[in-house]
Amino acid sequence: SAQNSVEGQSQIQQDASNHILHPFVDNHALKNKGARIMSKADGVYVWDDQGKRYLDAFAGLWCVNLGYGRKELIDAASKQMATLPYYNLFFNTSTPPTVQLAKAIAEIAPEHMNNVFFTGSGSEANDTVFRMVRRYWDVKGQPTKKIIIGRHNGYHGSTVAGTSLGGMKPMHKQGDLPIQGIEHIRQPYWFDEGEDLSPDAFGLIAAKALEEKILEVGADNVAAFIAEPVQGAGGVIIPPATYWPEIQRITDKYNILLVVDEVICGFGRTGNWFGCDTFNIKADLMPIAKGLSSGYLPIGGVIISDRVAEVLKSEESGDFLHGFTYSGHPTCAAVALENIRILKDEKIIENIQQNTGPYLAEQLQTLADHPLVGEVRTLGMLGAIELVQDKATRKRYPGNGKVGSICRDHALDQGLILRATGDTMLLSPPLVITKEEIDSIIKATKIALDNTL
């Protein structure tokens, strides 16, 4: 095949663009730019192959919650690999780590949720949701309930169902999506869409869009509503306090399953075990992944409420014809189980609540005075900084995210990994980050903002 050879690039950089089609990347531009080769990590730091150190304020992809290099997780994997590296959950079998993990998840999940369907990723979890909610209503004898309502700018993964449930227009354009039977409503993004309303008034209006959509398509045709507690990839969009109670009222009133995508928020990110705990939401299904294993091995799942589990385990239900080779992979499960043990034993979530969460909030707010910054938001170990041209009117710069990428590159120069979604800078550091490391984030971000101006 044609080989790319660019002057100044190392062999591995050239091999990377010659042999990998990178996800969510302009692969043509990457040929000239050269991939950054990350080659080792420890704690909250990663090093590239040139020896440059970065503080990873994004925890990989919102997932390395315990930070890098945790020996207990490595040992759990190696021990399980030596005992039983793989077996499946098909054909009436289970494995000890998988059973123990399901039980451990049921213990930390809300009271009414005691079952898990295992997958290999968050996208597979949402594909599972798509099939599971339809199966639920079929078995219940209400087969017309098929439509799933998601939100504009929501993210639920990049498989066909995941992309369709999500509301990312540029993704929909590739592959003629969404698939049939999926509708979208507006997002509760006060900063961009709230105009002159108070956040609380706007939150109610954004939630009522769900009721309007249900009435438009008919409640008898709606299976479920799906949303992230806090939109992650969309821009760490923390909904106004009025939003979730109104959504709950509407899904209860019209007998619609409520799916709360916990792939980012689950396992401590918002300062509680689940986003549902933080916002007091009673969900029917909770897709999970990422922080379940701190990203050390790929594993995801759907946590299932008792009322849904009862139907799917009923005599009438029969075989649920769904599952993956790696559903409940024992080595991944052993690592996830150890990850949960560490989160509990080291009181990592309590520490976010009482200590590092408020500290991140307070320190990040010091950047709100910066001329480029329109708003700073935080929740637990999530943060967002909105970059604007005009602070008073919240007006954006032209260029569709150009300023955000400039700021992200300046942060990289400072040895700090942030993410930019449009002109919103996102933070999702490892949950174990210390106050001193938070200070380093703030210092480097301030320099990056100054250099962006």
Footprint on this chain of ligand PLP (rule: CB under 6 A)? 121-123, 126, 155-157, 228, 232-233, 261, 263-264, 289, 300
DSSP 68: B
320: left (phi over 0), alpha (psi -120 to 50) or beta: beta
CB of 165 to ligand PLP, least distance (A): 9
CB of 413 to ligand PLP, least distance (A): 26
Question: Residue 155 or 202: which CB sits closer to ligand PLP?
Answer: 155
31: left (phi over 0), alpha (psi -120 to 50) or beta: alpha
Question: Residue 126 or 270: which CB sits closer to ligand PLP?
Answer: 126
CB of 385 to ligand PLP, least distance (A): 19
The residue whose Cβ lies closest to ligand PLP is 122
Asked if 353 and 147 count as a contact pair (C-beta separation under 8 A), the reply is: no
CB of 269 to ligand PLP, least distance (A): 10
Question: Residue 157 or 235: which CB sits closer to ligand PLP?
Answer: 157
Question: Residue 228 or 338: which CB sits closer to ligand PLP?
Answer: 228
Residue entry with tokens 């969009």: 237
Question: Residue 232 or 330: which CB sits closer to ligand PLP?
Answer: 232
Question: Residue 283 or 448: which CB sits closer to ligand PLP?
Answer: 283
Query: E-assigned strands of 328-423?
Result: 373-379, 382-387, 416-417, 419-421
CB of 362 to ligand PLP, least distance (A): 26
CA distance 291 to 253: 32
CB of 287 to ligand PLP, least distance (A): 6
Torsion, Cα of 116, 285, 175, 121 (10° steps):
-30
Dig out the tokens for 6 from the structure: 């660019």
Q: Give me the count of residues in the chain.
A: 453
Asked if 388 and 396 count as a contact pair (C-beta separation under 8 A), the reply is: yes
The candidate with the shortest Cα–Cα distance to 269, out of 291, 289, 288, is 291
CB of 154 to ligand PLP, least distance (A): 8
Dig out the tokens for 65 from the structure: 């919650």
CA distance 105 to 328: 13
Question: Residue 275 or 330: which CB sits closer to ligand PLP?
Answer: 275
The candidate with the shortest Cα–Cα distance to 241, out of 206, 214, 273, is 206
Question: How is 69-104 classified by DSSP, letter by letter?
Answer: --HHHHHHHHHHHHH-S---S-TT---HHHHHHHHH
CA distance 164 to 137: 20
Question: Residue 121 or 164: which CB sits closer to ligand PLP?
Answer: 121
Q: What is the edge-to-edge ordering of all strands in the sheet holding 257-260? A: 113-119, 300-305, 285-288, 257-260, 222-227, 147-151, 182-185
Question: Residue 263 or 304: which CB sits closer to ligand PLP?
Answer: 263
Q: What angle do CA 165, 171, 172 make, to 5 degrees?
A: 65
Question: Residue 102 or 299: which CB sits closer to ligand PLP?
Answer: 299
CB of 157 to ligand PLP, least distance (A): 3
CB of 329 to ligand PLP, least distance (A): 14
CB of 446 to ligand PLP, least distance (A): 28
CA distance 410 to 391: 21
